[in-house]
């Protein structure tokens, strides 16, 4: 089997949220959705996870329609069920309801067995001053690296 390197990232997640715990979940997909994901035609940037009837769903994830499909193609913005163990689901449900945390997708990837998986995180939203602190730290690190590079040369 060829090595498939499909990794669709949510780059804003680490900037917008403070990540507390990470989980890897399977995704329940329709027939043409996996083909679109393997082609890299998906986006999780503006998506989030929500509980419905004790099950976890990813909302607002975009998987573009498969170009070679017939009229049996999928809906690009439909909600998709995430597959986790009962223990993990109970823990996440308790955390979300008790403390007001949110669950966000970080990465959508194909594992070594060829199955679509999603890395999700229990997260707490950052305030504006936290975001400013991150930007300031990043700029300071960049400047320090420039000074070190100039000193070595």
The tens place of each residue's pLDDT in the chain, 153 residues long, gives 445 577 888 888 888 888 999 999 999 987 788 888 888 888 898 899 999 998 999 999 888 877 776 666 666 788 899 999 999 999 999 989 888 899 999 999 998 888 899 999 999 988 877 788 888 988 999 999 999 888 887
Protein fold of 7-126: Small Protein B; Chain: A; (2.40.280)
Domain segments of the chain as ranges:
7-126
pTM of the model: 0.77
Kindly write down the DSSP assignment for every residue of the chain, as one continuous string: ------EEE-TTHHHHEEEEEEEEEEE---TTHHHHHHTT-EE-TT-EEEEETTEEEEES-EEPPPTT--TTPPPTT--EEEE--HHHHHHHHHHHHHH--EEEEEEEEE-TTS-EEEEEEEEEEPPHHHHHHHHHHHHHHHHHHHHHHHHH-
């Amino acid at each position: 089997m060829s090595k498939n390197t499909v990794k669709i990232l949510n780059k804003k997640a680490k900037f917008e949220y403070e990540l507390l715990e990470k989980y890897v979940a399977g995704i329940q997909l329709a027939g043409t959705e996996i083909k679109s994901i393997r082609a890299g035609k998906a986006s999780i940037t503006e998506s989030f996870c929500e509980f419905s009837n004790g099950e976890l769903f990813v909302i607002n994830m975009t998987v573009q329609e498969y170009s070679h499909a017939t009229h049996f193609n999928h809906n690009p913005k439909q909600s998709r069920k995430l597959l986790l163990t009962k223990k993990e689901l109970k823990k996440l449900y308790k955390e979300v309801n008790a403390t007001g945390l949110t669950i966000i997708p970080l990465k959508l990837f194909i594992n070594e067995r060829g199955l679509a998986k999603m890395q999700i995180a229990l997260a707490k939203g950052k305030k504006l001053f936290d975001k400013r602190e991150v930007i300031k730290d990043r700029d300071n690190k960049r400047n320090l690296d420039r000074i070190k590079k100039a000193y070595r040369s």
